[in-house]
Structure 1
Amino acid sequence: MITLPRNPLKGGRRAPDPAARSRRRFTRRQWLRRWLVWRYVIASVLLVALVVGAVWLVFVSSVLTVKKVDVKGESFLSRQQVLTAADVPTGGHLAQLDLEAIRSRVGALAPVRRVDVSREWPDGVLIKITERTPVAVVEIGGTFHAMDADGVLFRDYPHPPVGMPRVVSSADTGSAALAEAARVIASLPHTLAARVDHVQVRGIDQISLALRGGATVVWGSDAQSALKAEVLARLLARPAGTYDVSVPGQPVTSVR
């Protein structure tokens, strides 16, 4: 009887070789080590390339350069006046623009109360301005000027606008006195303002109202203007040439 050797395969497969498995695990570990090293190298190269590309794009190429400037909020001023004052360098790199310098140049225009300058990527600049609002017209030496609530004169009128309070002053009157007059005008009730022909300003705390009937109101400073207006409203019931409400607790009237 012949005895055949036992088949080393089970199910048609060779039994696992421990040495081969060890070599495969070693190979995989070596490959992983190399990949970890190369992964950081590749990432570093890509990061450097990205930074270099971004620097080139922003500071060297012509892609992100100024090609247009938009202006918003202009009314008294023309768009060209704003652009001339802004002096934005067309073709300059957008990232290198001195926005503060542009803002300062536009803000120096008398009608501009506030200005904001921003980059509009990829190739634009936006200038947004808020112009001053006239609260009165100031007559100085026969010329009419618009005045805002801060006492700033910012434009001229050929004729005084209808319905706008008129301030009469001298050429050497300072902006502080004019600002005080603006606050007095703002404090007047509509019914009282309608009776005022003009506001006379001789200096700080030297404000008077010339009424349409010919009477004069000595107002003084802008302090307690609301109370002064109440006192004057009661005094006007008695005809007089001068109403002095500079000290509202002790008003004085006199006949010319």
Structure 2
Amino acid sequence: MKQPNQMKLKNLYIAGTVTLVSLLAYFLGWSGLMTIDQIKVTGLSKTQKVSSLTSKEVIKLSGIKIGQPIARVNSSSVKRKLLALPQVLDVKVNRKLPNSVLIELKMRKVEIAVTASGGGFLVGDASGVTFAKVNKVPRGVPIIKTSTSKLLLSQTLRVFHGLPSKIQNRVISIDAKTRDSITFNLTQGVQIIWGGSQEQDLKIEVLNQLLADPNNKRVKNFDISSPLAPTVR
């Protein structure tokens, strides 16, 4: 059986711990000693100037306010709000004790453009997610002319990203009205009729051979939709 003094010490220890935790919770969450006086946003400079999103807009959307106790910042809630923006790929929220919060954004890169209804273009990343409308496509970004089918867009992108980089870099636009009618329009007026997404490796091999043939130096049209019977003209 425990001695009375031991019981008293244990009770005092428990009471002291509860009091300390309560004071710490108050100190962090409710007192004015650790309130936010700075909110910093990074990552916006990588949007290739097609998004008008500003630091002020990000902070407003985050719901974080100057003067708010730093411990009451709900990182999960902030992340959920900002990921609702189509141009944002990822978000990290870091509380920098004692008084600042850092919001780190990872923006989607502009890697494709698709024609928009009513004119202009929608730019998006390699996954096919579009996030901004522009009147002029950034230099080096291929225009994909396709239907509104996400499946067709995804298939077209898979074919495009499977191309050798030396060909990818020359693509100006891609016509893809159906899944079996993909056509790449390259610089210098060269056109590659690809057809469907099947037999990708064989088509690349055939195309490389055709492009390497000196007799095809002036050829503008390469039809490899049937890779075992390609045609040039």
Q: TM-score, normalised by structure 1?
A: 0.69
CA RMSD, 1 decimal: 3.0
The aligned counterpart of 1:232 is 207
Alignment coverage as a number of residue pairs: 218
Note the alpha carbon deviations across 1:226-252, whole angstroms, 9 max, x for none: 43222123245454756033x54x344
CA distance in 1, matches of 2:58, 2:21: 36
CA distance in 2, matches of 1:100, 1:36: 44
Please give the secondary structure, in 1, of the residue aligned with 2:33.
coil
After TM superposition, give the deviation of residue 54 of structure 1 in Å: 1.5
After TM superposition, give the deviation of residue 195 of structure 1 in Å: 4.9
Aligned pairs (5 A) from 1:57-96: 57-75=27-45, 76=47, 77-96=53-72
**Residues 174, 114 of structure 1: CA spacing in aligned structure 2 closer, same or farther, 3 A cutoff?**
farther
**Residues 97, 205 of structure 1: CA spacing in aligned structure 2 closer, same or farther, 3 A cutoff?**
farther
1:116 counterpart (85, 92, 111): 92
Q: Is the 8 A contact 1:151 1:180 kept in 2?
A: no
Please give the secondary structure, in 2, of the residue aligned with 1:130.
strand
After TM superposition, give the deviation of residue 150 of structure 1 in Å: 0.2
Note the alpha carbon deviations across 1:82-136, whole angstroms, 9 max, x for none: 2232122444443333322211111111211111223333333321111111223
The aligned counterpart of 1:200 is 175
Gaps of 5+ in 2: 48-52
CA distance in 2, matches of 1:72, 1:126: 8
CA distance in 1, matches of 2:180, 2:99: 52
Q: Is the 8 A contact 1:240 1:253 kept in 2?
A: no
CA distance in 2, matches of 1:66, 1:205: 56
Q: TM-score, normalised by structure 2?
A: 0.75
User: Which structure has the larger Rg over C-alpha atoms?
Assistant: 1
After TM superposition, give the deviation of residue 68 of structure 1 in Å: 2.7
The aligned counterpart of 1:30 is none
The aligned counterpart of 2:50 is none
Percent identity for Structure 1 against Structure 2: 27
Which amino acid counterpart does residue 74 of structure 1 have in structure 2? Answer: L
CA distance in 2, matches of 1:224, 1:136: 23
The aligned counterpart of 1:165 is 142
**Residues 213, 38 of structure 1: CA spacing in aligned structure 2 closer, same or farther, 3 A cutoff?**
closer
Q: Is the 8 A contact 1:140 1:169 kept in 2?
A: no
CA distance in 2, matches of 1:137, 1:129: 22
CA distance in 2, matches of 1:191, 1:35: 83
Which amino acid counterpart does residue 165 of structure 1 have in structure 2? Answer: P
CA distance in 2, matches of 1:50, 1:71: 34
After TM superposition, give the deviation of residue 154 of structure 1 in Å: 1.9
The aligned counterpart of 1:253 is 231
Which amino acid counterpart does residue 97 of structure 1 have in structure 2? Answer: V
Which amino acid counterpart does residue 168 of structure 1 have in structure 2? Answer: K
Q: Is the 8 A contact 2:140 2:172 kept in 1?
A: no
Gaps of 5+ in 1: 1-32
1:244 counterpart (218, 224, 227): 224
**Residues 226, 113 of structure 1: CA spacing in aligned structure 2 closer, same or farther, 3 A cutoff?**
farther
CA distance in 2, matches of 1:118, 1:205: 48
Question: Does residue 1:125 correspond to 2:101, yes or no?
Answer: yes
After TM superposition, give the deviation of residue 36 of structure 1 in Å: 4.9
Aligned pairs (5 A) from 1:24-35: none
CA distance in 2, matches of 1:51, 1:214: 72
CA distance in 2, matches of 1:193, 1:51: 60
Q: Is the 8 A contact 1:199 1:210 kept in 2?
A: yes
Please give the secondary structure, in 2, of the residue aligned with 1:63.
helix
